[in-house]
Chain A
Amino acid sequence: MSNIKYLLLVSRQGKVRLMQWYTPLTPKQKTKIINDLTPLILARKPKMCNILEYNDHKVVYRRYASLYFICGITNEQDNELLTLEIIHRFVETMDTYFGNVCELDIIFHFDKAYDILNELIMCDGSMAESSKKEILNNVHAMDAIESNDHLDRILS
């Protein structure tokens, strides 16, 4: 069981590429979390622990090339190692969808990255689907619907 509070994707240069909030927070609180965590995590050396405490909860992060995937988790309900696996599953799924995903893919197709994330994690922060195949099928089905809409628009 997981109950993620938020997931942020930050580049090595400190630019936020994706963010998804699973608990109700005010814009001010969200900005504070981003402003606090970005320098804190970017300043950590590669061999340092991927789990740290922040305010009333824990933060689990993992770096893939130039991107940092940062998850805020609930102390009592979440498992840190499971959260690392969820991050890894998200990256693996994007990697299969885009074919060796890079920062540019996420910048230009953030909608697809959000689609994949929404298939993986529900709006309450719990895991919705663990199967990469199933997630990709759903995202491809969405693509097909979008593509058919496009065709319909041309034909009409």
Chain B
Amino acid sequence: MTRDKILIAYNKNADFHHFDTIKKIFDGCLDTVEYKATDSILKGLQWKTKYYSADFDLYIDRYESLDQWLDDLKDPECDVLRDALAGLIIIDDVDQKQVSILNKKDSPTVHEESFLVWCNTKDEFSQDETDDMNVRIAVDGASLEIIRLHSEEMNEFSDTVGIERVKEIIDTYQWPNMVKESLENSVRTGKAPSDMDNLDSIVQKLNNARSHYQSLDKDNDEADANSFADEIAKEVSERLGL
């Protein structure tokens, strides 16, 4: 099954504007769909990076007791849902006991390829404490990551934190349905120094190709010639940085 759904769960009794957080995480994705803050399924969203785009659905659920909600999610009845999850994001005050439940290796909450993020809404929990908690989680070899929502951009070690880190985790998820952007556009950030030196040889090759295509039969090879013209125009534009 394609793992292309992100499930977000939050505590319905918490005094926190969860939908603002969702909007911040998926800021660019929500522009293309109509939605209400009370919607629990948002379909046909698109996650975009400079390298790829991927379609995904966003499922939003709320709970009264996270323990109970996790038990339900781990129930065999929810196997189909869990198999379809790209990742699970919990938005709530962090709780050590529930972190342990999420971390249990013998009964994983999500598939090992999927991501598991806890967005901690507790303001008094500092970034240092969050980092310490993540270190303890790493000792157990689990994939859960705690994110402090109130942190912005980077900590003192240049680590991305807060909402930006959630975005980074989603960016690096191996979307099974990703559509890659043209690598030609994204890979060569530096121009090859010899590109312009080779201009003479490119012109020479173009002349040879022109002679070759002039000699072709017009009716049979027009499609061929058009396709060639398109390709060469694209190649030359790329080389000239247009």
Contacts and interface: CB of A to CB of B under 8 A. Distances in A.
Contacts of A137: 193
Interface in A111-156: 112, 136-137, 140-141, 143-144, 147-148, 150-152, 154-155
Contacts of A155: 205-206, 208-209, 232
Interface string B195-234: 1001000100110110000000000000000001001100
A58 to B, nearest CB: 21
A136 B192 contact: no
B139 A66 contact: no
Contacts of B231: 154
Main secondary structure on A side of the interface with B: helix
B168 interface: yes
B109 interface: no
Contacts of B205: 151-152, 155
Contacts of B52: 108
Interface residues of B, number: 45
Interface residues of A, number: 40
B50 A104 contact: yes
Contacts of B131: 45-46
B203 to A, nearest CB: 12
Nearest to B232: A154
Nearest to B156: A46
A147 B138 contact: no
A150 B178 CA distance: 25
B172 A39 contact: no
Given A39-B139, A66-B160, A108 B183 contact: yes
B135 A144 contact: no
B135 A45 contact: yes
Contacts of B4: none
B192 A97 contact: no
Interface stretch (A7-15, A24-32, A71-79, A81-89): A7-15
A122 B232 CA distance: 38
Contact of B194 (A39, A97, A144): A144
A144 B198 contact: yes
A54 interface: no
A14 B141 contact: yes
A154 B187 contact: no
Given A14-B141, A65-B158, A154-B232, 11 more contacts: A12-B159, A43-B135, A44-B135, A45-B132, A97-B189, A97-B190, A98-B189, A108-B52, A109-B187, A112-B187, A144-B195
7 contacts: A64-B158, A104-B51, A108-B187, A112-B187, A144-B193, A144-B195, A150-B235
